[in-house]
Structure 1
Amino acid sequence: MKDGQSHSTLREWRDHMARPRAVAIFAGLAVILTLIAPFETERAAGPLIRFCYWLLVAVLTYAIGSLAHCFALFRFARQPVLRVAISMLITAAGANLVVFGVTLLILSDVPAGLDLLLTIVNISVIAMIIAGIFHLLPDQPAMQEEHRSCALMDRLPLEKRGPLVALSVEDHYVRVRTLAGEDVLLMRLSDAIRETGDINGLQVHRSHWVALDQVKSARRRGDGAILQMNIGPDIPVSRSNLPAIRKAGLLPR
C-alpha cells in the first residue's frame, strides 16, 4: 500500500495547490513583494520581471514546503519528532534551491562568499520556522477541505480532527482513530460509517471499518487477514470480507 499512500498524498497536494484561494494568495504576495522590492531587487529588474521573479519564488517554495509537509505527515505518522525534522529539512533545502535557481534564471546574479553563506542560513532558518509552524497547527486547511463532507469529524474535539484512519466497536461505543488522535463516541458502527461521507473506506469486520488510503500493508492470517494501519493497532479482516479487500487491491486476487 505504499504506492497507494504516496498517490493519495500527491493527489491531496495537487488539489491543495490548485485551489483558487492558493492561487490568489500567490499572486497577491508577488504583487506586494514587487512593490516593496526587498533585497535590492528594484535595482536588478523592472516591475514586470520582479513580479515574475517573486511569483515563481512564492509558488515553488510553497509547493515544496507543502509537499514536504504532506509526505512527512503520512510517511512518519507514528514518529512526530522525526516527522517535523524531515519536513523542516526538506523545506529548507528546497527553498534554497528555488531562491538561487530562480535568482540565477531571472536576475542572473547570486551572492558569493560570505554573503552566499549568510543568505543560505537566512533562507534555511525562515523556511524551517515556517515548516515547523505548519506542524503545530491543530487543524490544517487541507485536512478541513478533504473532510468537509465527513460529519463524523464534527463529533470530535478540534485537536483530534484529521484524516480518518479507522473505526472500531468497543461495547456500545465506537473508537474513532485519526492521524491527529483517538476518541470514543456513543453510537452504532453503522451510523458512524454513514457519517464518514465520501471518504474511501470499507467495513472489513463486524467491528471494524478502515480508510483505504491509511492501510500500510495487508497479510493473510488463518481464514482472514490483518491490516497494518499508518497509525495505531492492526485491524482484523473477517473471511467474508476477503473478496472486498482483494477487490480494493489490498491483497492479491
Structure 2
Amino acid sequence: MISKFKKILAEHNLLVLGPLLVFLTLLAAQAKPFGAEGVSFLGRFLFWSAVMVLGALIAHFSVRCIQRYAKNRKQIVRDVATVALVTVLFTPVLWALIWLTALPETKEVPDLTTMLQYGTIFASGLLVLRRSFPGLDSQAPKEEEQIIQPRLYRRLPEGFEGPILRLTVHDHSVDVVTMDEVITIRSRFADAIDEMEPVLGYCTHRSHWVTREAIESVERTGGRIYIRLINGDQVPVSRKYKPKLEEAGIV
C-alpha cells in the first residue's frame, strides 16, 4: 500500500498535491477540530492532514476489499458497502485523532452518533474523490483489461459481461446461469466447459459444472452433499466427482 501511495504521489503530484495543500492550509486556518479552542495553526494543519491521509488509506483498503469479495454485486451495492466499511473503520480512527490532538481543548466530547455521522460524511466524500480522480484506482482497470474472456461468451447475447456461475446440461442444450438470468445455448456439455477457460471451475455432477468464484458454501442433507452458490442455487455433488472436489478443498 505504501508503494501504491508513493506511485500516486509521483504520477499525480501536480494534480493532487497542489490543490490538497491549498485546501489543508485553508482548512487549518479556518476550521477548529470539532470546536477545539486554543489549537495552534500547526496543530490544526497536522490534524486535518492526518484525517485526509488516514482516510484515503482506509478508503483504498475498503475499495479493494469490496472489489475482491463483492465484485459480482451491482455497482450501487458495492458503493453502499464501501461507504459502510469506510465508516466502520474510519470512525474510531477519527475519534482517536480527536483524543490525541484536539480533545483536551474541546468544549464537548463528541458522542458515538455524532462520530458515526462524521465518519459517513468523510466516507462518502472520499468515495466521490476517488471517482473524480480515476488515476487513484489506475491499477484496477489495467487488471480488468488483462482478463481473458472465456470463448463461451461469444455464444451469448451481445454485450454480455457475466459472470457465469454454473453450466447445466439438458439433452443437447446447456443452461448458462448468471446472477440474474439463465441463457440456454445449443452445445455439447464438454465443449461448453472447454470454452470456459481460463475460468477455474469444477464438475460436481455429470450434469453440472460450477465456477470456483461462485461457490459460497457446502451443505449436507440426508447423506447427500450440495454446493450452494452465491445466487442461492444448490448444485448436487455426485460420488464420482466428490474425490476431485475434496482434493481441491471444496468439500
TM-score of the superposed pair, with normalisation by structure 2 = 0.60
Superposition RMSD on alpha carbons, in Å?
4.9
- Looking at structure 1, the residues matched to 159 and 182 of structure 2 have their Cα atoms a distance apart, in angstroms, of 10
Give the match's secondary structure for 1:57. Answer: helix
> Aligned with 2:192: secondary structure?
helix
Deviation at 1:56, TM superposition (A): 3.4
Q: Which residue of 1 aligns with 2:36?
A: none
Q: Hey, what does 1:233 align to over in structure 2?
A: 233
| Contact 1:205–1:237 under 8 Å retained in 2 | yes
Structure 2: distance between partners of 1:174 and 1:213: 20
Contact 2:216 2:229 in 1 (8 A): yes
Letter in 1 for 2:117: V
| Structure 2 CA distance for partners of 1:26 and 1:174, relative to 1, 3 Å | farther
Give the secondary-structure state (helix, strand or coil) at the position aligned to 2:199.
coil
2:87 aligned to 89, 92, 98, which one?
A: 92
Give, as a single letter, the amino acid of the residue that structure 1 aligns with 2:27: E
Match runs of 1:15-30 below 5 Å: 24-25=7-8, 28=12
Q: Percent identity?
A: 23
Distance change in 2, residues 1:219/1:168 (3 Å): same
1:35 aligns with 2:21: yes
**Aligned-partner Cα distance in 1 for 2:2–2:197:** 23
Higher relative contact order (CA 8 A, sep 6+): 1
In the TM superposition, residue 81 of structure 1 has moved relative to its aligned partner by 9.7
Aligned partners of 2:178, 2:6: CA distance in 1, in Å? 29
Return the match for 2:54 from 47, 53, 56: 56
Q: Which amino acid aligns with 1:109?
A: A
Please give the alpha-carbon distance, in whole angstroms, between the structure 2 residues aligned to 1:196 and 1:167: 10
Question: Distance between the aligned counterparts of 1:83 and 1:191, measured in 2?
Answer: 34
Q: Quote the Cα distance in structure 1 between the aligned partners of 2:65 and 2:182.
A: 25
- 1:67-146 equivalences in 2 (<5 Å): 67-68=65-66, 70-71=68-69, 88-101=83-96, 108-109=101-102, 112=106, 121-125=117-121, 127-128=123-124, 130=127, 141=140, 145=144
Rounded Cα–Cα distance in structure 1 between residues aligned with 2:141 and 2:245: 27
For 1:170-217, what per-residue CA distance to the aligned partner results, in whole angstroms no more than 9, with x for missing partners? Answer: 444433334465433443332332233333311222221112343233
Q: Which amino acid aligns with 1:211?
A: T
* Cα offsets for 1:74-116 (capped at 9, x unmatched): 8xx7x999987665433322233344446766xx336946895
8 Å contact from structure 1 (residues 193, 209) kept in 2: yes
What TM-score do the two structures reach when normalised by structure 1?
Answer: 0.59
Q: Which runs of 5+ in 1 are unaligned?
A: 1-16, 135-140
1:197 aligns with 2:183: no
> Which ranges of structure 2 fall in alignment gaps of 5 or more residues?
30-40, 132-139
SS for the counterpart of 1:95 is: helix
Cα deviation, residue 148, structure 1? 1.3
- Does structure 1 conserve the Cα–Cα contact (< 8 Å) formed by 2:150 and 2:199? no
Amino acid across the alignment from 2:102: D
